[in-house]
């Protein structure tokens, strides 16, 4: 094998886990087919596979028949294909290296979870091994679609002929001398969706085993299909494992080792070139009302979607066809390479209060070091005003759809107001008193006409049928808590199955507001309230409504109701208890965000004589209702953003 690798110009000097160094030219147009053991040795993956074996906790018989067989099948299918053309793991062997890293990362992350969620200790013990394998399968297969959609493989046969090849044809034929990798442009979603078609890389016995647990199989298929609403805890764990592998490789300069014929300029380079050009030529305005960027104390605050769309359009005008259409992928790319700074929760999106001489804005922004966007000597002056960072659980209106021109709309009194100005009533923390709020919480702003017609929400025939029982409440393990909190919180509570009445009437069974499990308990409380008719949907006195887009939970009323029912006391600190619960609910990521990536949606209440507005979370029907049991839509509510 050493002679063969030397003949093809390959040796460990070219291993994709060594990045960022200059190397001799690599003849990637004539790569040697290898067996699984040869690939694993060449890419030095033995230690990661041993880590997977330790985390799998099975005997050698099961390891070899279920895990090692799947790894070998995947390795001989992937060969030395890269994980991307010019992003992470872009060198020879990048996809196999990335795949094994994600498997090891996922199984390590899962140690902090109690899989599967929602079952008792005895049932969990029975399902532990099949869920471990399901997680492994989700990680192993997550990028397999790239072998079909990212590249085209051409075999150089010993008889001098060439032949196209794909994994659908089985293993590379034995009469293959070498193969070449060419890149093709395909929809990013296709990489995920085609992965499902390669499930036969798992042994037949393994696929049959997975089929015994429909919840697990549903999450596995949803993850491979890139369905964020159905992939559950499997998807969440593998997604984090994928990000960890990607970020680690980019820090090592993995994007710098690219195949011949790969997109010549890495995506991050093109994104940064476009962004700098748009800022410097004035397309993206700076430090004024209606701007897309503000400079303040050495940092640049960029309006998320406005900037992303401008960059996408600029690159499209330059002839680029491979730029992601989803702006969140641009945000993630800027963050992964260290350009967009992490917020307090590790994300790329910040919430900022920007106060200029004649405007006051609350926006979602990315934050860059200004010196990474402007040349020395060309750094704009600081904003004449102030920028304050808001908490991540603030719900604010954004400028993501605001055009770069200075359009205006009218205030209620008919006077013009800049379209991108956010008024006090547009922040959830400053909303008017909600008619559904039965608590004694006082409003932070004077009462206006918003929410003034609670009766308009009432529908003639509210749904009264039973919606099902409440499941066991279990969530992933929480981390250690500070010493000032109750010591019982240091270990996660395992809540036994409760009927709906118990959930509502027994506050003693509820987790504390700062316990991550409180979010799942909150959801189960709503389910119980629907089941026992405490909440009758689409009524003026109920904070739960049905619209075409999903289930609306009126905010912040429903969270305040929950806190009141659980008899929570104010925690130490200035943050209200309901906001602590709200933060935990946001982290659960069950709700559907707006197109502008804001948590709260706005709805118009259509009354008989006049209209008013309300805000709420939007969640998929399936979280609260079985298929076929979804109540009628409240025709008096219109979703407006």
Q: What is the DSSP string of 468-479?
A: -PPPP---PPP-
What CATH number is associated with residue 219? 1.10.3210.40
pLDDT tier at 475, thresholds 50, 70, 90: very low
Domain end point (choices 218, 252, 286): 252
pLDDT at 541: 79
Q: What are phi and psi of 538, to 5 degrees?
A: 65, 20
Q: Which residues pair with 365 in a beta bridge?
A: 303, 350
Q: Are residues 390 and 486 in the same domain?
A: no
Q: Report yes or no on 411 lying in a domain.
A: no
Is there a domain that residue 3 lies in?
Answer: no
Which of 169-178, 270-279, 448-457, 532-541 has the weakest average pLDDT? Answer: 448-457
Q: Tell which phi-psi region holds residue 361, choosing left (phi > 0), alpha (psi between -120 and 50) or beta.
A: beta
73-110 core/surface letters (b: 16 or more CB in 10 A; e: else): bbbbbbbbbbbbbbbbbbbbbbbbbbbbbbbbbbbbbb
Q: How many Å apart are CA 529 and CA 553, to the nearest integer? A: 13
Domain co-membership, 167 together with 275 = no
Q: Which long-range contacts (CB under 8 A, 24 or more apart) does 486-490 make?
A: 486/512, 489/514, 489/515
End-to-end CA distance of the chain: 61
- Please tell me the distance from the alpha carbon of residue 361 to that of residue 384, in angstroms, as a whole number: 14
Under a CB-based contact definition with an 8 Å cutoff, are residues 602 and 641 in contact?
yes
- Report which secondary-structure segment, H or E, holds 271: helix 267-280
397 domain-assigned: yes
Average pLDDT over residues 288-302: 93
Residue 136 counted as domain residue: yes
Q: In what order do the strands lie in the sheet with 151-157?
A: 162-165, 151-157, 176-183
193 and 69 co-located in one domain = yes
Q: Phi and psi of 454, rounded to 5°?
A: -60, -30
Cα 640 from Cα 174, distance rounded (Å): 61
Positive or negative: CA dihedral 115, 117, 119, 120: positive
For residue 605, tell me if it sits in a domain: yes
Neighbours of 520 (CB within 10 A): 24
The pLDDT tens digits for 345-390 are 778 899 999 999 889 999 999 999 999 998 767 789 999 999 999 9
Are 229 and 188 within one domain?
yes
CB 475 within 8 A of CB 117: yes
Contacts of 191 (CB under 8 A, 6+ apart): 143, 145, 146, 149, 150
Q: Domain check: are 600 and 628 in the same one?
A: yes
Query: What is the distance between the alpha carbons of residues 499 and 164, in angstroms, rounded to a whole number?
Result: 60
> What is the mean predicted confidence (pLDDT) over 128-133?
94
Q: Which of 337, 218, 359, 212 is nearest to 267 (CA)?
A: 337
Whether 200 and 343 share a structural domain: no
pLDDT band at 613 (very low <50, low <70, confident <90, very high): confident
In a domain, 445, yes or no: yes
Q: Say if residue 489 is in the same domain as residue 621.
A: yes
Q: Distance between CA atoms of 26 and 503, rounded to whole angstroms?
A: 64
Residue range 289-307: mean pLDDT, rounded: 94
Tell whether 432 and 546 lie within a shared domain. Answer: yes
- With contact defined as beta carbons under 8 Å apart, do 457 and 536 qualify? no
Of 396, 394, 444, 425, give the one whose Cα is nearest residue 582.
394
Q: Which of 229, 252, 275 is the last residue of a domain?
A: 252
Nearest to 561 by CA among 583, 572, 577: 577
Q: What's the Cα-to-Cα distance from 317 to each of 47, 266, 283, 400, rounded to whole Å?
A: 46, 18, 14, 21
Same domain, 279 and 246: no
Output the six-digit token pair for 558: 């429903």
Instruction: Give the mean pLDDT of 504-528.
Output: 82
Does residue 294 have a pLDDT over 70? yes
pLDDT band at residue 607 using 50, 70 and 90 as cut-offs: low
Q: How many domains does the chain have?
A: 3
pLDDT at 611: 59
Q: Answer yes or no: is 206 within a domain.
A: yes
Residue range of the domain that includes 543: 428-639
Are 554 and 526 in contact by the 8 Å Cβ rule? The answer is no
Query: How far, in whole angstroms, is CA 376 from its chain's centroid?
Result: 36
Please tell me the distance from the alpha carbon of residue 520 to that of residue 117, in angstroms, as a whole number.
11
pTM of the model: 0.47
Q: Are residues 464 and 608 in the same domain?
A: yes
Same domain (yes/no): 243, 276: no
Kindly state whether residue 260 falls inside one of the protein's structural domains: no
pLDDT at 489 over 70: no
- What would the mean pLDDT of 530-552 be, rounded to a whole number? 88
Same domain, 510 and 625: yes
User: Which segments within 390-475 are labelled E, that is strand?
Assistant: 408-410, 416-418
Instruction: Identify the CATH number of the domain in which residue 339 sits.
Output: 2.40.10.200
């Amino acid at each position: 094998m050493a002679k063969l690798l030397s003949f093809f110009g390959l040796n460990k000097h070219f291993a994709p886990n060594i990045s960022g160094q200059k190397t001799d030219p690599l003849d990637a147009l004539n790569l040697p087919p290898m067996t699984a053991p040869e690939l694993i040795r060449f890419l030095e993956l033995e230690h990661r596979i041993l880590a997977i074996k330790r985390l799998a906790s099975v005997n050698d018989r099961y390891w070899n028949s279920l895990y090692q067989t799947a790894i070998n099948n995947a390795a001989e299918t992937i060969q030395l294909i890269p994980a991307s053309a010019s992003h992470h793991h872009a060198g020879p062997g990048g996809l196999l290296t990335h795949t094994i890293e994600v498997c090891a990362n996922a199984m390590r992350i899962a140690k902090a979870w109690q899989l599967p969620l929602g079952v008792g200790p005895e049932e969990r013990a029975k399902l532990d091994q099949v869920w471990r394998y399901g997680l492994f399968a989700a990680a192993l297969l997550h990028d397999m679609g790239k072998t079909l959609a990212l590249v085209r493989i051409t075999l150089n046969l010993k008889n001098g002929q060439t032949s196209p090849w794909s994994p659908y044809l089985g293993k590379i034929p034995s009469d293959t001398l070498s193969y070449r990798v060419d890149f093709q442009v395909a929809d990013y979603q296709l990489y995920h969706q085609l992965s499902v078609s390669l499930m036969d890389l798992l042994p037949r016995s393994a696929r049959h085993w997975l089929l015994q647990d429909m919840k697990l199989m549903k999450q596995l298929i949803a993850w491979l299909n890139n369905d964020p609403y159905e992939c559950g805890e499997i998807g969440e764990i593998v997604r984090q494992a994928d990000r960890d592998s990607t970020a680690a490789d980019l820090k090592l300069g993995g994007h710098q080792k690219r195949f011949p014929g790969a997109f010549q300029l890495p995506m991050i380079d093109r994104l940064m070139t476009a962004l700098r050009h748009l800022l410097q030529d004035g397309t993206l305005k700076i430090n004024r009302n209606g701007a897309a960027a503000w400079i303040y104390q050495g940092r640049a605050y960029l309006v998320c979607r406005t900037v992303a769309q401008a960059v996408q359009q600029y690159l499209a005008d330059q002839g680029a066809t491979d730029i992601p259409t989803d702006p969140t992928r641009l945000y993630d790319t800027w963050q992964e390479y260290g350009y967009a700074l992490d917020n307090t929760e590790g994300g790329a999106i910040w919430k900022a209060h920007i106060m200029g001489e004649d405007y006051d804005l609350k926006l979602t922004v990315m934050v860059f070091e200004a010196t990474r966007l402007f040349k020395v000597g060309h750094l704009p002056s600081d904003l004449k005003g102030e920028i304050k960072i808001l908490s991540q659980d603030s719900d604010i209106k954004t400028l993501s759809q605001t055009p770069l021109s200075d359009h205006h709309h009218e205030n209620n009194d008919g006077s013009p107001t800049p379209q991108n100005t956010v008024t006090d009533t547009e922040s959830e923390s400053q909303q008017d008193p909600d008619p559904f709020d039965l608590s004694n919480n006082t409003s932070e702003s004077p009462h206006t006409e918003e929410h003034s017609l609670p009766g308009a929400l009432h529908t003639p025939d509210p749904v009264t049928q039973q919606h099902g029982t409440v499941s066991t409440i279990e969530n992933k393990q929480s981390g250690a808590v500070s010493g000032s909190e109750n010591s019982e919180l240091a270990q996660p509570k395992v809540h036994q199955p409760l009927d709906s009445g118990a959930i509502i009437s027994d506050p003693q069974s509820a987790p504390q507001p700062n316990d991550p499990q409180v979010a799942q308990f909150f959801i189960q409380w709503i389910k119980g309230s629907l089941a026992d008719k405490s909440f009758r949907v689409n009524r003026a006195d109920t904070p739960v409504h049905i619209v075409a887009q999903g289930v609306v939970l009126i905010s912040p009323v429903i969270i305040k109701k929950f806190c009141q029912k659980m008899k929570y006391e104010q925690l130490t600190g200035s943050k209200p208890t309901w906001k602590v619960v709200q933060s935990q609910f946001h982290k659960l990521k069950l709700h559907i965000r707006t197109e502008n990536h804001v948590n709260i949606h706005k709805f118009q209440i259509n009354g008989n004589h006049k209209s008013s507005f309300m805000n709420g979370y939007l969640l998929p029907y399936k979280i609260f209702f079985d298929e076929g049991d979804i109540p009628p839509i409240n025709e008096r509510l219109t979703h407006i953003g």
